[in-house]
Each structure stands twice: as C-alpha cells, then as structure tokens.
C-alpha cells in the first residue's frame, strides 16, 4: 500500500486553519506583549522624573528606534541561517534585561540610554522571531491569517498592559518594571515547556560552512537590490507606521482635550486600539490572498479619508466613531502588508533575514521621524488637524503607489546569488 507523502508543514499547519503550535507561540507573544505594554506605559513616566524636560525624555525614548535601525542592518548581516527559536531566545533575554536595568541601575541619562538600547534590540528581535516563525512554521496561504492573529494578540496585550501598569504605579514607581519582568520570566518558563512539546522549536546546530555572514558592503548591496523591487510597499509600510507613531505621540494629548468637552473623549485611544483586536478574525474570515496589494491600498485609502474627515468634525462622539472606523481599515492593512513581506521572506531563502531587516527598518525609521512630524504639525495646526495632515500624505502616496506597484514582484534572486558568491 502506498503511503501518502507527508507535507513539510503537515505537523504544523493545515490548509484550513492555523495549528496549535502557532497559537501557543501567539500566547507567548501575548505574555511578552503585555510586559512590553507595561513598560511602554510606565517607562516614559519614570524617565520624566529624572530628566530636565519633556524634550530630553523624547530623545531618550527615540534612542531605542535608532538602535533598532542599526540592529536591522546588523542582524540581517550576521544571522543568515538562524531559526526563529534562536531569535526567540535572544528576545527573551532582552525582555528580561530591559525592566531589570530600570529596577537596579541608578536613574540617570546613561542608564536610561542603556535601557532604551536593550528595548530597541528587543523590538527588532521580535520582528525577526515573528517573521522567522511564520516563514518556517506556517504554510503560505495562511500568512495573512497568521499575521492577523499576531496583530490581534499585540492589540489585546496593549489593552491589558496599561491597566496593569496603572495598578502597579499605585504601589511604587518601579513596581511596573517588576510586573513586566514577571511576564518575561513567565514567558521563559512557557517557552521551556514548548520546546519539550514541539521538537521543531529547538535550536539546531548551524554547519560550519553555513555560519558565514555577509560583509557590510554585501549587505548594503543586498538591501539596495531588494529596495529597487519593493520600494512601493516599503514606503507604504513606513507611512502606515508613521500614522501609528502620530497616534501614540499626539493621541494622549488630544484625548485629554476631547475629554474636557465630552466624556467620550476618554475612549479616543481605545477606539484606535480596539479594531486591531478583531482584525485577525476578520482577515481569517475574508481569506485574503497573500499578494492582494489592491486590498491593502483600498484599506489604507479608506482609513486616510476617514482620518482626514476627523480633523473637521466638531462632535466628540463622532470623532471617536470616525477614528474607530479608520482604525478598522488600518488594522487590516498592517497585517496584510506584513504577510506580503512574509511572502518575500519565503521566496528569498538564504537572504531572507535581509528582507526581515529591511522590513523592520521601515518601522524603526517611522518611530524616529513620526514623533518629530507629529510635534511639528501639532504646534502649528493643532492636535486634531495633525491626524488629517498625516492622513492626507498617506492618501496621496497610496493613490500614486497603486499605479506603480506591480501585480507580481520579481525579486532579484540571480543578482542576490551573485552577491553571495563574491
């Protein structure tokens, strides 16, 4: 009797749905994300107590994104053949080190910069881990669903995190860091259990002939070759992330302004976050093709139009409702964009980490320039119109890029092999 050949992903994902190992990984990301959200909420408040002004605090926090861009390039160069479990172990180390540094180090500029450096490394390792996991553990038709679920998980964590941080702050300024460290250690113990349950999660030794890395000049050439092919989607991701950075920079201030006029203003940021929790289920239901860039541009344009309109609405409840609707479209566009990059990662093979690093650099750069753009616009146009101006730029680019984005992106595989061989 002939045995049916086993598919490479047969023990990991089915064609109909995501597998249990994936959902266990998503649970680990939820634990880490909750600790991360606690740190995101509490660390600026803590740092502000020990720096001269808000501008200095902003520079300290933005240092993490500068480190992130550097890591995107260095990780792409060094970690060519490493699997997701390698990145996840480093991710756990960074997740533990960041809160520990703020707990035990003297609160001053240099220790804060050290902590932000670890935080920047943490975020990049999260990207590398997520992309590597989905690339190796999920079949291609489920890329969109997988990224949708991870987006939902992150949103849920960022909903719970500030609540925990607020509670922890009532018990001391460093208690949130202890809380975050507890979540990191809990993730570590769950990961130990996972590698016993799922043997495919274990780190495999890299052969000596595979341990080489690209030179800096090779890595620059690789990024240049890739950028020449994917620049429309890269810039789109950059602008979407700029929009996100603007919300987290100006959003709290604008929410305070709205709350003075109507109690619904309290829910401004919640309206922005909530749709992301449901986006994973929406994407799974829609069964959107991995390469359906038209859907991405449609969602981005719809969100941009709504955000432009939100700048001219006087009714606070209507502003919140408009932001909720816009966020629903944005929460779909981001995981779809990630799944598009995931498709590129799958196709590149040995140079896949270069694509991960390039994708992640768009997000890191957006969190360097986003807050600056937000502050500059809000100082001249006001908080409410800041969202409209940034959304207008996003809309204009999306309409133009729609015509420049090819239906099929042909990656420069021959040129990349030539770079590898030199």
Model confidence pLDDT, tens digit, residues 168-226? 989 988 999 999 999 999 999 999 999 888 877 766 544 444 445 667 788 888 889 99
pLDDT value of residue 269: 85
Segment 333-353, tens digit of pLDDT? 988 898 889 888 888 877 788
pLDDT value of residue 302: 96
From the CB of residue 55, how many other CB atoms can be counted at a distance below 10 Å?
10
Exposed/middle/buried for 172, CB within 10 Å: 0-12, 13-18, 19+?
Answer: exposed
pLDDT value of residue 11: 38
- What domains are defined for the chain? 18-203 (1.20.1250.20), 214-422 (1.20.1250.20)
pLDDT value of residue 98: 94
Residue 8 — pLDDT band, cuts 50, 70, 90?
very low
pLDDT value of residue 329: 93
3-state secondary structure of 183: helix
Which is more confident, 182 or 372? 182
> What contacts 383, CB < 8 A, 6 or more positions away?
250, 253, 254, 257
pLDDT value of residue 12: 42
């Amino acid at each position: 009797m002939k045995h049916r050949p086993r598919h490479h992903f047969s023990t990991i994902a089915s064609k109909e749905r995501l597998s249990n190992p994936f959902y266990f990984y998503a649970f680990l990301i939820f634990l880490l994300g909750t600790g991360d959200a606690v740190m995101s909420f509490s660390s600026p408040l803590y740092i502000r107590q020990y720096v001269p002004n808000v501008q200095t605090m902003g520079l300290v926090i933005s240092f993490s994104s500068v480190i992130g861009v550097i890591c995107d390039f260095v990780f792409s160069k060094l970690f060519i053949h490493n699997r997701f479990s390698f990145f996840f172990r480093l991710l756990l180390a960074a997740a533990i080190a960041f809160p520990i540094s703020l707990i035990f180090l003297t609160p001053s500029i240099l220790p804060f910069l050290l902590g932000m450096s670890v935080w920047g490394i943490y975020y990049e390792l999260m990207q590398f881990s997520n992309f590597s996991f989905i690339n190796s553990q999920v079949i291609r038709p489920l890329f969109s669903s997988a990224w949708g679920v991870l987006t939902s998980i992150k949103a849920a964590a960022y909903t719970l995190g500030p609540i925990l941080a607020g509670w922890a702050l009532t018990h001391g300024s460093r208690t949130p860091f202890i809380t975050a460290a507890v979540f990191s250690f809990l993730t570590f113990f769950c990961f130990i259990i996972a590698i016993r349950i799922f043997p495919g999660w274990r780190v495999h030794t890299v052969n000596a002939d595979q341990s080489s890395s690209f030179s800096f000049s090779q890595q620059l050439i690789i990024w240049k070759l890739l950028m020449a092919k994917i620049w429309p989607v890269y810039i789109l991701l950059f602008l979407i992330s700029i929009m996100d950075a603007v919300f987290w920079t100006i959003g709290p201030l604008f929410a305070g302004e709205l709350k003075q006029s109507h109690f619904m203003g309290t829910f401004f940021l919640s309206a922005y976050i909530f749709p992301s929790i449901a986006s994973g289920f929406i994407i799974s239901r829609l069964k959107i093709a991995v390469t359906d860039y038209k859907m991405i541009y449609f969602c981005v344009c719809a969100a941009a139009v709504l955000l432009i309109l939100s700048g001219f609405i006087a009714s606070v409840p209507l502003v919140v409702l408009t932001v909720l609707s816009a966020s629903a479209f944005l929460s779909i566009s981001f995981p779809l964009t990630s799944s598009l990059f995931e498709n590129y990662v799958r196709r590149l093979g040995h140079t896949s980490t270069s694509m991960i690093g390039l994708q992640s650099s768009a997000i890191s750069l957006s969190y360097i320039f986003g807050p600056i753009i937000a502050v500059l616009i809000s100082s001249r146009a006001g908080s409410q119109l800041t969202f409209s101006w940034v959304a207008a730029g996003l809309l204009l680019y999306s309409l133009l890029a729609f015509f420049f984005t090819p239906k099929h992106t042909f990656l420069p595989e021959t040129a990349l092999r030539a770079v590898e061989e030199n």
